Structures are given as structure tokens and as C-alpha cells.
Chain A
Amino acid sequence: MEEFELIQRIKSGEQHLFEHLIKRYEDYVYSICVNSLKDREDAKDLTQDTFYKAYKSIKSYDGTKSKFSTWIYRIAYNKCIDFIRKQNSFLNYKNYIKSKADTKAHQVHSFQSEIVTKLLSKLAADESAMITLYYFDDMSIKEISYITKQSESYVKVKLHRIRKKLKEIAKIEYNNEL
């Protein structure tokens, strides 16, 4: 079934079809959350919250303004930022990430995963989310700027800086392996 038709049918009352949309985007939304929060359990909860929010406000989704994927990534991104802000009111973000990195929930499966985990742990939540969007879904700068509510030039510069930062960290930490 085409995505447009699927959304129209959900809008017209066939809410059970929303499960198909979840199936389509669950991995992407989860990836954004897990890379931003660095914790699988929190990411899972936030992914469910993202879909709940999307379910509640699917009526307001306008297909002419953005793709559904962009729209739902925007919800996920905002959820992550809000979550981190709430965490910040209790403890420092870096401490939060460190505590999460130490838990068994965030297991490292391979050397490559370890590299990426370590690199991401050096980034702030919005930076991790941005770099995730940039890499895994061939997203354009325009789409990322829509999701993050920042100007296109800001996103370009920010991405450049993040990649430079990652490169430097990778050089220092894994000079021989990369």
C-alpha cells in the first residue's frame, strides 16, 4: 500500500493501520533516539512516545509540506531534546551519558560499534541526532533544517563541525585502526 493512501485511511478512521506506519519507521526513529540518548531502554520508551504523539496528531500532518518520514523524525528529535533537557535539570548531561555507557543495557557488540559508541558519547544529543539523520537516511540539508528548526546554513556549518570533531576524536583514539 502506498504511504499516502495509508495515511489517508488512518486519517479517515482506520487507526489499526497505524501499525504499518510503525513497522516502516520504527528502526529509523529508534536509531535517532538510541544515538541521541545512548541508552536502549530510554530510547525504546521515547520511540513509543514518538509514535503515540504521531498517532494523536496525524490529522495535523500535511503531506504537501513535508514527507511523513521528515515529520516523524522531527517529533523524535524534539522528544529527545526535551528528554535531555529534563535530565539536565537533575544531573549533568555528560554524567548521564557516562552512567548509561556503564550500564549493561548499552552493550557493545563489535569493535566498530565500540568506535561509534565512543564517538557519539563525545557529542551532545542534538549533534548525535543530526549526524544520525545525515548519515542513515540520505537526508538533505533542507530536511534536517526542517527537523531541527534551524537554518540550512546553520545545519551545513554544524554538520561540518561535527564531522571535523568526530574525525579528530577518531584520530586521537583509534589512529592505528582507522
Chain B
Amino acid sequence: MNELDNKLKEELYTNVNQSFSHETMNYIRERERKVRLTILLFLLTICSVGFAFIPFEQLTFDNIPFLDFTITINKVYVVSAISLTLIFFFDVLLRSIIAPKTLLDKY
């Protein structure tokens, strides 16, 4: 039995190749990136679908004090601005959930 024990002790231990830790870190980063991209695509889809339901074609700002002209912003620009704000907001939020105590905590 002792001989069998020794054989098992020697043979059950298996080495991985030297670059394994580096490969694993890349794998982790890649998966994190995929999660963020999925969320990004999800938000973009919501924004695209929501676009059709926006109840105005353009925003018009007139009677602005000290300005004699009217500012008109097309729906596309309004939606783009809202979408980008949402994406940045959720990106920051998710980063802080996924990896809390990052730079924000240090300063």
C-alpha cells in the first residue's frame, strides 16, 4: 500500500505550461470585455428601439434671453446624446460594481 501511496503522490501532481498564468489573465480580461460589450449592445438596442417612440421630431429653443435666434436640435442628436449618457453612466456604474474599490476609493 505504501508503494501505491507513493506512486499516487508522485503522479497525481500535474504541471501546466509556463505561459498558463498569462493565458489565464488574458482569458479573464477577454471575458470581462465580453460582458461589457454585451451590456453595451443591450443598451444600444434599447436606445434604438426607443428611438421610434420618441414623441417629437425636433427640439426648438426660442425666446432665449440675449439671443436673437432660435436653436433647433434634431431628434437624432437628442437621442444620441441621451444614449451616450446612458452608456457612460452604466459603464461607470458596472465597473464600480464589478471592480469596486478602484481608483475612486484611493483618492
Question: Chain A residues in contact with chain B, CB under 8 A?
Answer: 11-13, 15-16, 18-19, 22-23, 26-28, 30-31, 34-35, 44, 47-48, 51-52, 55-56, 59, 112-113, 115-116, 119, 131-132, 135-136, 163, 166-167, 170, 178
Given contacts A35-B12, A44-B16, 5 further A-B contacts (CB under 8 A): A12-B101, A26-B16, A30-B16, A51-B28, A52-B24
* A131 partner residues in chain B, CB cutoff 8 A: 8, 12
- Report the Cα distance A55→B23, complex, angstroms: 14
Chain B residues within 8 Å of chain A by Cβ, number:
31
Do B25 and A18 touch across chains, with their CB atoms under 8 A apart?
Answer: yes
- Report the Cα distance A51→B24, complex, angstroms: 8
Q: How many A-B residue pairs have CB under 8 A?
A: 89
Do B20 and A132 touch across chains, with their CB atoms under 8 A apart?
Answer: no
SS of B interface (majority): helix
A31: nearest chain-B partner, CB-CB: B14
Do B13 and A48 touch across chains, with their CB atoms under 8 A apart?
Answer: no
Q: Contacts A112-B11, A135-B8: A19 and B22 contacting too (C-beta < 8 A)?
A: yes
- Report the Cα distance A54→B14, complex, angstroms: 21
- Report the Cα distance A31→B8, complex, angstroms: 12
